[in-house]
């Protein structure tokens, strides 16, 4: 069974403006992707494309005014969006875990890290305090934290950024989840620590066979660590497929521009791509949302673009792509 299958997910921000008119920001416009166990999916896109919102939507963590207005998120065949809140809450932190990008501020400042690990374990599993403690020490050790038994007594403020991120990963893994969502897990860490954390995540997936989704805007991370990738633009996935296929033959103009805009490519002196602001989510253009920025846009782009299958699971949503 597919571990995670998101189908046509729509999330809107619904608010009232000063004239009491209802304003709708269409933040997610039909996001669909699948993730199999034992695979790593990289979700890339510019800021505001809806990467994190996809994660919070499917985990049921949206707060007003954001609201899922359509679609399904099947986790092992069960629709997370149709489940009662209590049932989703039981899954969160146990079967589906999240690692966020601000580890230091995401740890409870008034609880020692060992107690936080024990707390999350005992919130989901009926185990004794001593057993939970043993597992917590083991978990810290497996994440390469030196002297884990002593580290259990550390306060969050005493940790470095890299150390805090490891603790956060330990928290996420305490209950042996089957799906791990890492939302920009290495933002704000220096490069060597970034590599260590990502190596850790990859080894974990290879060893335990869980599925992982890494949200990032770093194409280098996707190229090095992911099996599949999905490129997001204005709340929709414009291109997806195996990493090798997408990098080898970037078919959507946005993907091509994104890859062309990495520092390495820019240094090669290739043609400069056209920049521009992301579209206004309150007034998305008809048809392809990228057409205002797209160098290849034509009149037909005002029509909704088709998903074109390019073989080997490689799909691009564009009028310009020939199958």
Q: In terms of CB distance, is 93 or 148 closer to another protein? A: 93
Residue number with CB closer to another protein (94 or 314): 94
DSSP string, 160-210: -HHHHHHHHHHHHHTT--SEEEEESTTTTS-HHHHHHHHHHHHHHHHHH--
Please state, in angstroms and as integers, the Cα–Cα distance from residue 234 to each residue in 51, 57, 171, 207, 285, following that order. 10, 15, 32, 35, 10
Q: How far is the CB of 6 from another protein (least distance, A)?
A: 17
Binding footprint of another protein on the chain (CB under 8 A): 59, 61, 89-94, 97-98, 100, 102, 105-111, 119-120, 123-124, 155, 157, 168, 171-172
Q: Would you say 150 or 272 has its CB closer to another protein?
A: 150
> CB of residue 197 vs another protein: minimum separation in angstroms?
17
Q: Which two tokens stand for residue 44?
A: 């890339």
Q: Which residues contact 38 (CB under 8 A, 6 or more apart)?
A: 205, 206, 209, 210, 211
- Is the CB of residue 60 less than 8 Å from the CB of residue 78? no
Strand partners, 111: none
Least distance (Å) between residue 23 CB and another protein: 19
Question: Which of 102, 107, 98, 115 shows the shortest CA–CA distance to 156?
Answer: 107
Shortest CB 211 distance to another protein, Å:
17
Q: Are 215 and 51 in contact (CB under 8 A)?
A: yes
Q: In this complex, which beta carbon is closest to another protein, that of residue 120 or of residue 297?
A: 120
**Min CB(161)–another protein separation in Å:** 14
**102 vs 208 by CB, closer to another protein:** 102
Cα distance from N-terminal residue to C-terminal residue, the chain: 28
Among 95, 70, 61, CA closest to 9: 70
Token pair recorded at residue 126: 């009926």
Q: Which of 51, 81, 84 is nearest to 69 (CA)?
A: 81
**72 vs 124, which CB is nearer to another protein?**
124
Question: Whole-angstrom Cα distance, residue 216 to residue 222?
Answer: 8
CB of 165 to another protein, least distance (A): 13
Closest CB to another protein among residues 67, 224: 67
Q: Closest separation between CB of residue 185 and another protein, Å?
A: 13
């Amino acid at each position: 069974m597919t571990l995670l299958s998101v189908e046509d997910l729509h999330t809107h921000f619904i608010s009232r403006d000063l004239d009491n008119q209802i304003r709708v920001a269409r933040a997610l416009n039909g996001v669909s992707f699948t993730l199999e166990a034992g695979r790593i999916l990289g979700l890339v896109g510019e800021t505001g494309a809806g990467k994190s919102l996809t994660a919070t939507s499917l985990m049921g963590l949206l707060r007003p005014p954001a609201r899922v207005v359509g679609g399904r998120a099947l986790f092992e065949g069960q629709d997370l969006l149709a489940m009662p809140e209590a049932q989703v809450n039981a899954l969160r932190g146990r079967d589906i875990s999240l690692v966020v990008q601000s580890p230091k501020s995401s740890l409870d400042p008034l609880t020692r890290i060992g107690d936080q690990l024990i707390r999350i374990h005992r919130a989901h599993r009926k185990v004794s305090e001593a057993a939970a403690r043993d597992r917590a020490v083991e978990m810290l050790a497996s994440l390469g934290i030196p002297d884990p038994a002593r580290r259990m007594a550390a306060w969050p403020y005493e940790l470095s950024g890299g150390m805090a991120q490891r603790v956060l990963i330990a928290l996420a893994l305490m209950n042996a989840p089957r799906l791990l969502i890492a939302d920009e897990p290495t933002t704000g860490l220096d490069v060597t620590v970034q590599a260590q954390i990502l190596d850790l995540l990859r080894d974990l997936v290879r060893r335990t066979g869980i599925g992982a989704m890494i949200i990032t805007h770093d194409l280098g991370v996707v190229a090095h660590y992911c099996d599949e990738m999905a490129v997001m633009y204005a709340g929709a996935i414009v291109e997806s497929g195996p990493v090798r296929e997408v990098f080898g033959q970037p078919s959507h103009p946005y993907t091509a521009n994104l890859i062309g805009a990495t520092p390495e490519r820019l240094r090669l002196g290739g043609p400069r791509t056209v920049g521009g602001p992301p579209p206004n989510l309150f007034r998305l253009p008809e048809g392809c949302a990228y057409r205002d920025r797209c160098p290849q846009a034509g009149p037909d782009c005002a029509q909704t673009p088709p998903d074109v299958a390019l073989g080997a699971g490689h799909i691009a949503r564009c009028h310009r792509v020939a199958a």
